[in-house]
Structure 1
Amino acid sequence: MATSAVAQDVVFALRQKIAKIEGTLAERLVAPADGQPVAGLLVRRNGHASARDFFLPTGVERLDKVLGGGLPKAALTEIHGTETRNAGAAAGLALCLVSGMLKERSRRNDLVLWVGTTEMFREAGLPYAPGLASFFGMSAESLLLAEAPKASDVLWIAEEAARIEEIAAIVVELRGNPRIVDLTATRRLHRRAQDSGRPVFLLRQSAAPEPTAAPVRLVVSPAPANLRQTLLGPLAGSIAAPAFAVEIGKSRTALPGSFILEWNPDARTLAERNPENRVAVVSPSRGRTRPPAQAGAVLAFKPAAAETAGNKPSREQHPAHRRPRRTG
């Protein structure tokens, strides 16, 4: 028991040293129990600390608990798309988080900067203005789009924009794993987010996880949507609110977790959905039944038998690469 207490004190001391190197002072709220996440980490600024000021709650109770209070509000957060064709899911989750943050701030003149490379916008497209207004409550005037030819230019634009007071959040969208987006570059971007007190979302499409300075990494893919609910019950053939399959790839609590989240465009909130409460991605064919399963094992080739002189292949059946080449 004493050994466990000493180990916890050592871990907390290391966290404080790391926080001092980063320019902040972190302290724990309550001692974590065995197998339970840390209740939260506070950052002191001018002698005051508040969990509400440090964390951006997602609205999903279980997700916020696993993350230790929510996403860090003044930090770099990674959102990974599994494939380029799933870019809409990763971008959609980023918009859900930004929309929830703007709803909490409730300021009219808040702006959001979306910066990406020309290659990324050509592959995945640009945010759709009518969809921003109807699904996320964001006007087209509040979204600033910046396009750059190289990833280094995208990072430079994001770092400079973090100093502008009117920009409430920054979304950096990149494709793949550019060499320039290394630990040093992400640490610099994370530092700018801490100094400005606003979040920066690193949206990486079709990228493999690699070491970065972001405290949280979310891996996102599309999830099947539910049917629309009416007074008479579910409406067949309809599509309800968009859903996201979210997996925690990295967090301060180091606790894994998988979630299926639904976005409510009216209330602008995220909610968790049970995995079994969904419809199939592809509906079964109508008027057809599945063929009965065949009994026994099915082999793609006949069992090999002992080779004899009588069952050897003829000369014409020998592979072509064993035949002598013609020289003239």
Structure 2
Amino acid sequence: MARMAMAQEKIFALRREIARIEGTLPERLVAPEAGSAVVLRRGISAVREGRSAFLGTGVPGLDSALAGGVPQAALTEFHSLETRDAGATAGFALALVSLLRKTDSQRQGKSAVCWIGMANLFREAGFPYAPGLERQFGLSPGDLLFSTAEHLADALWIAKEAARLKDFCAVVLEIRGNPARLDLTATRRLHRRAQEAGRPVFLIREGALAEPTAALVRLEVSAAPAVPRRTVAGPLGDAIGHPAFTVVIGKSRTARPGRFILEWNPDEHSLREIRPAHSRALVPASGHRPYLPAAGGTVVALRPAATAPTAGDQQPREERPTHRRPRRAS
């Protein structure tokens, strides 16, 4: 009995430690009714610093599906299934960084960003372009610390150490594919560092498949058609509008699915939901069909198809041609 009690105590201790790392350690239980219980969970460390626990994207539908927005003190993943969408995935993550920097500047906080990337990814997808980062997201060269690593172990170490520094408002780690070293244990360490520091860690995975990680939110990002640029005289048909992204919720705390097409305005540093030009539903919803089915045409009579003869219509055995032939001599 004593050994069993000790084993159960160790199991409970491990469960409490895992819950503490994931930020879901229950504080107390409240039973408002008989047979039911409500678990009140501890808030993440951003609340203790006087900041909001979530970063609002400015898109009501996306914020509602994520129960408030992107968590500010946690690990968040951004996925692209193909390497050609690396620019769109990194661009959407940097759009959230720009929103975060705007919020921190209002609170007189630090606004520098640490961006760590794998060398093989940059050889395949290209290096970041400094004038474009400053024009689109307001990241000047002095606000960005860029680091490349040949090995994933070095990139993970840099990300964990950068998450401790208070000079950074966010840490971005960009890798390619599904390396074996980036397992559940490694992502739990990144998530724990983000919780302890009270700042987000954005994990960008280019050309990767979804797998179990400790991230609270996983968003699948790809490029979307831009809407025509609008002027006072009207839309310009041949002009390319602002960058657009297709964002699909792959994982969240609410487990609510969602697909959004968002446009980034580099002048106002804001996101909004759009509907691209020449897009419509392929099949109207069953409850909102505007057209009734067409009326029936003229009824015509068709000839019955030829049927095979029945058993009563068959010819007698002696009248069949095959039996009129002379038999072969034995």
Structure 1 residues 68 and 109 mapped into 2: Cα distance closer, same or farther (>3 Å)?
closer
| 1:145 counterpart SS class | strand
Is residue 86 of structure 2 the alignment partner of residue 90 of structure 1?
no
1:228 maps to which residue? 229
Name segments (4+ residues, structure 1) moved above 3 Å: 15-28, 44-50
Task: Sort the Cα spacing of 1:128 and 1:108 in 2 relative to 1 into closer, same or farther, 3 A.
Answer: farther
Within 2, Cα distance between the matches of 1:124 and 1:46?
Answer: 34
Task: Give the AA of the match of 1:161.
Answer: A
| Equivalent position amino acid for 2:93 in 1 | A
Q: Which amino acid aligns with 1:89?
A: A
Q: 1:222 & 1:54 partners in 2: Cα distance?
A: 28
Matched residue SS, 1:53: coil
Q: Is 1:242 the counterpart of 2:246 in the alignment? A: no
How far is 1:199 from its partner? 0.4
2: CA distance between counterparts of 1:188 and 1:253?
Answer: 23
Distance 1:127 1:90 in 2: 13
* Amino-acid identity (%): 56
Change (3 A) 1:46 1:248: closer
Matched residues, number: 252
- After superposition, where does 1:191-202 map in structure 2 within 5 Å? 191-202=192-203
Could you tell me which runs of 5 or more consecutive residues in structure 1 were left unpaired when the two chains were aligned: 1-14, 29-39, 281-328
Matched with 1:43 is 43
Q: Secondary structure at the match of 2:52?
A: helix
Q: Which residue of the partner structure matches residue 182 of structure 1? A: 183
TM-score of the pair, normalised by structure 1: 0.71
Asked if 2 retains the 8 angstrom alpha-carbon contact of 1:80 and 1:220, the reply is yes
After superposition, give the CA deviation of every residue in 1:263-296 in whole Å (9 maximum; x if it has no partner). Answer: 011110111113xx3258xxxxxxxxxxxxxxxx
- Give the Cα–Cα distance (whole angstroms) in 1 for the partners of residues 83 and 220 of structure 2: 13
Q: Match for residue 120 of structure 1?
A: 121
* TM-align CA RMSD: 2.6
Letter in structure 2 aligned against 1:70: G
Amino acid at match of 1:137: G
Alignment match, 2:77: 78
Deviation at 1:110, TM superposition (A): 2.4
C-alpha separation in 2, matches of 1:80 and 1:46:
25
Preserved contact between residue 42 and residue 49 of structure 1 (Cα < 8 Å): no
Shift of 1:131: 1.2
SS class of match (2:95): helix
Counterparts of residues 272-311 of structure 1 (less than 5 Å): 272-274=273-275, 277-278=276-277
Provide the secondary structure at the position in 2 that maps to 1:202. Answer: strand
Q: Structure 1 residues 143, 211: CA separation in 2 closer, same or farther (over 3 Å shift)?
A: same
Distance 2:74 2:270 in 1: 21
- On the 8 A contact 2:45/2:198 being kept in 1, the answer is no
Letter in 2 for 1:99: S
> Are 1:266 and 2:267 an aligned pair?
yes
> Relative to 1, partners in 2 of residues 1:21 and 1:156: Cα closer, same or farther, differing over 3 Å?
closer
Contact 1:26 1:44 in 2 (8 A): no
Alpha-carbon spacing, 1:74–1:46, altered in 2? closer, same or farther (3 Å): closer
Does residue 150 in structure 1 map to residue 151 in structure 2? yes
